[in-house]
Structure 1
Amino acid sequence: METLELFFKNFSDLAWGLPLLILLIGGGLYLLVLSKFLPFRFFGHALNVLRGKYDDPDDPGEISHFKALTTALSSTIGMGNIAGVALAIAIGGPGAMFWMWVSAIVGMSTKFFTCTLAIMYRGKDSNGELQGGPMYFIREGLGKRWKPLAVGFSLFGMLGALPVVNVNQLKQAINDIILIPNGVEVNFNTNLIIAVVLVTLTTIVILGGLKRISTIASKLVPSMVILYFVLVLVILVLHIDVVPKYFMLIFSDAFAANNYHGDPFFGGVLGALVLLGIRRGAFSNEAGIGTAPMAHGAAKTDEPVREGLVAMLGPAIDTLVVCTLTALAILVTGVWQNTSDNGVTLTASAFADAMPGFGQYLLMICVFIFSISSLFSYSYYGTKCLSFLIGAKHKHYYNYFYILSIILAATTPFSMMINFIDGVFALMAIPTMVSTIIMAPRVVKEIKAYQQRLKQS
């Protein structure tokens, strides 16, 4: 097990080198400037699209703009927002959150471009049904010569869609919040029981396909965000006297890196802190990774720019709102300094500190909903990847692989799972970002055409 842990750590560190950092952040900044900051200029219009103002039931696609966003968010708003943020602060201190914000602001532009392309270049699967996602916009937009890039994305996408971090941290939460405090001895058998329950729940939903997943996600996601928002607001009100201090510390520590406890990057702790924030931000909002375009590519619309604008709201909701709430809850309660907890357990400590006796149980409800909704959405991504590789009639085989991974994740260490997913996400980002940057000028043309159509309507 130790050898495997070391292997995945080395794999993750190698994948997240300087080239990927330049590709994700440098590429995102290029897209932001190229579009003349369109995601921010059209923010109000994006909200109107999301509300359904422009919905047309006769448009091609499977699900509404709102359901596409909530399906995408049900995978991104998950353990990245609770365990990922806690891990970032445990290793990097308050400053890590600042670099997560940077990744989200740049990521809004990246998501706009990737999800616009997902509609511009939808392709047909072997059943003749319209599909979207990086593998399709690479094949349809760049041609057959680039198909190896699409195949590479699909192969890594099948691994990246495995719910190993969500399951691992949900198991950790159940153990640390419910079982251990009530005198239950935690061992391999208890972890296996948790895995079997999760497998049963997941199987019922994912076998129903995208429509069932999107319907459940559209009900779960808004309610879980509101509940989590209210709970953290209570924590912040209870510690209102120190909120400004810690909010400012996020900015000052981002450049001082006084609380960083990990390995240096390119010889310095500041570089390592920046990399940590970008890495955790990418895990949280998945901008540039390529999962969200698969959900948004199924939206009922014939206007690619509209779906891109809806998609860009994802990183804003996910990282700028939900992750910030988690970070402030951990910082103002002081648990990041006076406990050795990590991941979801650190966030649980913050809730227990602010609301003794019941805070951790309220968090448990949020953790359960966050994790379960992510479990449903990720299976959809994996089946789409397998469908692209070997045909739509065989895509259901992925679900067996997916279900097996739930059992594996519930019985392995957190560090191994997070390093595995980090590394695979990095390999998914390469084909997604390279193809998006190449086709970005086409998206800019589409933006201009869309603006003209808006004026005429």
Structure 2
Amino acid sequence: MVEQGINGLSRLLWGWPVWMAILAFGVWFTIKSRGFQFTHCIKVWKYTLFSGQCEKKSGISSRQALSAALAGSVGTGNLAGVGAALLVGGPGAIFWMWVSALFGMGTIFCEVILAMQNRSTAPGFQPLGGAMVTLSRRLHSPFLAGIFAAGCVGASLGMGCLAQVHAAVPAAGTFSLPPVDFGLLLGTVLFLGFGGLGRTVKITEKLVPVMTVCFLGLCLLVLLLRWDQIPTAAAAIFQQAFTVRAMGSGGACGFFLAMKTGVTRGIFTNEAGLGSAVFAYAGSREEDPVRQGCWGIVQVMIDTLLMCTVTALCLLASGIGMKTETEGAAYCLHAFASVLGPWGEKGVSLCTLLFAIATLFAWQCYGRTAWRFLFRGRGETVYRCLFAVTALWGVFQSENAVWALSDACNGLMAFPNLVMLYRLWPDAVAAVNDFCKKERKEKDEHSSDRRPAPPSGAKPGPVPYARP
């Protein structure tokens, strides 16, 4: 009965109008920004990970903010989420996950710019920004800001806690850790490690690179051992994107199911359109909104276009087949074990646990920020206990209930965020245009500085004719 109620709430708050509106905004902003994430693809990396700027000592750097945002997005959704997408929507769901990521880069780019433009800063305090701050300060709508904050608290307990713990239970079982003991241990760690963005980035900046490299290393081994299956797996993704027969559905129904599964699971993993990852970027010391927005683009590239793609290829190339009665997390463990053996299963289990822990710490930070905004800084201990208890509760829930509750909370958070995006996107476009003009001006000045000056006293002569 409870699960039926959760499913009904999920269909109401996370129906096709919501995720289609998120995808449509990504397309719209990509057009209005002249495809910034595509035309400046190389420069985005130059502005971010390869900027070569020396780190200052005070405040949270953009690199640390990226680690927190990646910790929140590169979670078990990259394993269990991809596995569940394949089981429900078939290989074609991965194609739609790519589509959501390509245009989601534009969405999160806009989100970060607006958050940076409207964040609250005060001497001696960490900057605070996000959809709730923008809705309150820029659109003067405390009601919508409150809805977003409430949705963010719910999402931190659903997508940020329940989904992560549930997906990590099979991984903990690989190390002979009973579910109840695992839930108690995780809840205790979360209660003791509870803190704000400053404490979170100290954990994520060390944990995220390690877990990402370890997981990609395992995936590389699987793909090397199953290299002959990669073309078949890639072909299945494109062929079944429009002709999928998922869970017995065919024709238009199967196509819509693949599209819905790919887009929604893509939003789940990269958080573009939800407004959650913006908390980390707005809390950094960076002052340029567009440059900070480039870090959001990098986040989606790493999370979905790299991590999720590699995971999907490994699962499809493993050749174990997709059984609809198998949950996404178990499907991933079986796929890696079939190729790499028991030690491969333990390796991917360890990565799953690290993903879950990193995401839990990032989302408790997001939820804490929303809770403090909602209750004016009061009752933080209540949320602290609630988050820890939810971690224990997550080990007993079914996968369908966990995904449905997560989708419902995502929808509650996405609605006010979409209102903000559709109302204020011209501000972000203006910032992008100013940034591009400044960039062209600096390029022209640099070119003129490199041009040799004429000899003193010489008069400019005619331009010599050059043969074609």
| Aligned-residue offset at 1:129 | 5.0
Identity of aligned residues (%): 28
**Closer, same or farther in 2 for the Cα pair 1:55/1:228, shift >3 Å?**
same
What are the Cα deviations for residues 149-176 of structure 1, in whole angstroms up to 9, with x where unaligned? Answer: 111000011010121100111113223x
Partners of 1:71 and 1:228 lie apart in 2 by 18
Instruction: Select which of 233, 237, 252 maps to 1:250.
Output: 237
**Closer, same or farther in 2 for the Cα pair 1:293/1:434, shift >3 Å?**
same
Bigger Cα Rg: 2
TM-score (norm 1): 0.91
- Does residue 206 (structure 1) correspond to residue 194 (structure 2)? The answer is yes
Q: Which residue of 2 aligns with 1:320?
A: 305
Partners of 1:423 and 1:114 lie apart in 2 by 21
| Aligned-residue offset at 1:28 | 1.0
Determine if contact 2:88/2:324 at 8 Å carries over to the other structure. no
Unaligned 5+ segments in structure 1 are: 185-189
Q: Which residue of 2 aligns with 1:187?
A: none
Q: Which residue of 1 aligns with 2:37?
A: 39
Partners of 2:121 and 2:250 lie apart in 1 by 46
CA-based RMSD of the aligned residues comes to 2.2
1:23 partner SS? helix
**Closer, same or farther in 2 for the Cα pair 1:198/1:431, shift >3 Å?**
same
- Does residue 156 (structure 1) correspond to residue 151 (structure 2)? The answer is yes
Matches within 5 A, 1:18-417: 18-51=16-49, 52-54=51-53, 57=56, 62-123=59-120, 129-142=126-139, 144=140, 146-162=141-157, 163-175=161-173, 177-179=174-176, 190-207=178-195, 209-258=196-245, 260-261=246-247, 268-337=253-322, 340-392=325-377, 394-417=379-402
Unaligned 5+ segments in structure 2 are: 443-468
What are the Cα deviations for residues 95-149 of structure 1, in whole angstroms up to 9, with x where unaligned? Answer: 1111111111111000000011111100269x9653011101112221x2x2211
| Aligned-residue offset at 1:5 | 1.4
Partners of 2:198 and 2:8 lie apart in 1 by 39
Partners of 1:338 and 1:438 lie apart in 2 by 44
Q: Which residue of 1 aligns with 2:466?
A: none
- Does residue 428 (structure 1) correspond to residue 423 (structure 2)? The answer is no
Report the residue type matching 2:167 in the other structure. Q
TM-score (norm 2): 0.89
Report the residue type matching 1:71 in the other structure. A
Partners of 1:330 and 1:129 lie apart in 2 by 42
| Aligned-residue offset at 1:414 | 2.0
What are the Cα deviations for residues 360-408 of structure 1, in whole angstroms up to 9, with x where unaligned? Answer: 1001110111000011000010011111111135444321211111111
Between 223-232 and 391-400, report the one with greater CA deviation: 391-400
Determine if contact 1:31/1:437 at 8 Å carries over to the other structure. no
**Closer, same or farther in 2 for the Cα pair 1:264/1:140, shift >3 Å?**
farther
Partners of 2:359 and 2:144 lie apart in 1 by 26
Paired residue total: 438
Determine if contact 1:123/1:137 at 8 Å carries over to the other structure. no
1:290 partner SS? coil
1:201 partner SS? helix
**Closer, same or farther in 2 for the Cα pair 1:118/1:53, shift >3 Å?**
farther
Partners of 1:166 and 1:288 lie apart in 2 by 20
Determine if contact 2:22/2:418 at 8 Å carries over to the other structure. yes
| Aligned-residue offset at 1:449 | 2.2
**Closer, same or farther in 2 for the Cα pair 1:25/1:103, shift >3 Å?**
same
Determine if contact 2:80/2:328 at 8 Å carries over to the other structure. yes
Determine if contact 1:57/1:300 at 8 Å carries over to the other structure. no
| Aligned-residue offset at 1:178 | 3.3
1:241 partner SS? helix
Partners of 1:390 and 1:340 lie apart in 2 by 42
What are the Cα deviations for residues 405-439 of structure 1, in whole angstroms up to 9, with x where unaligned? Answer: 11111222222111100111122111112211211
Partners of 1:326 and 1:56 lie apart in 2 by 33
